[in-house]
Amino acid sequence: MAGKVFFSVSMSLDGFVAPDDVPLDVVFSPGGQSDPRVQRWMAKWSELQAWIFPQRFFRENLKLGEGGEEGLDNDIARATYERTGVSVMGKRMFDGGALAWPEEAPFHTPVYVVTHEKRDPWERPGGTTFHFVNDGIEKALDQAREAAGDRDVRIAGGGTTILEYVNAGLIDEFTIALSPVLFGTGIRLFEGVDSDRVALEPVRAEPGPRATHLTYTVRQR
């Protein structure tokens, strides 16, 4: 039996999944830390993701040392990782991650990158291999499903890529970690959603100490 296609993201209370756009080559450049735009971006991003940074599983997966919190937030982070057989992401997320991830990228599965670029697979230590698909989101998902077998496919991001899959009717369910922060401006995940086509069914709401986790199934209207 084929697994599900899902995504899981952190979102601010006012609906943003990322701060205002800052070029990634600026964010991760040697002089980026002194740029006020980067400082604001990093402060907001850190607040948005504050629920996951202290978790034991997060620290284990990124080899940040022993210790960390346990509880609902940690269980959800671990379960998300364990259900994922393959990840799919857009080129912008890959470009940013390639600058920020450690040598042993944190996926430990095949990853399919939706891009216009033709490129050979890129194998990383620890079981992560990036495959580059240049003929659309559906072809990338077809390859991901085949590689995942009966496990689930996670659409990892970014927001534009997730929305493309939502509007194409290719998402089965998703979870939002609703963080207690307000951005005011930024990148909205559902900006441009095809609301005439996409409808949601609530599955569960789980209040954690640092975020509230909301899970929905997706159906065609």
- End-to-end distance of the chain based on CA atoms, in angstroms? 25
- pLDDT confidence bin for 1, thresholds 50/70/90: low
Residue 35, both tokens: 């740029």
pLDDT, average across residues 121-130? 96
Is residue 29 scored above 90 in pLDDT? Answer: no
| DSSP structure class, residue 177 | E
Where is average pLDDT lowest: 3-7, 24-28, 127-131?
24-28
> Identity (one letter) of the amino acid at 27?
V
Is residue 26 scored above 90 in pLDDT? Answer: no
* SS3 assignment, position 23: coil
DSSP 42-93: HHHHHHHTTTTTTBHHHHHHTT--S--B-SHHHHHHHHHHHHEEEEEEEHHH
Residue 7, both tokens: 């995504």
For the entire predicted model, the pTM comes to: 0.93
pLDDT tens track for 43-100: 999 999 999 999 999 999 988 888 999 999 999 999 999 999 999 999 999 988 888 8
Superfamily of domain 5-220: Dihydrofolate Reductase, subunit A (3.40.430.10)
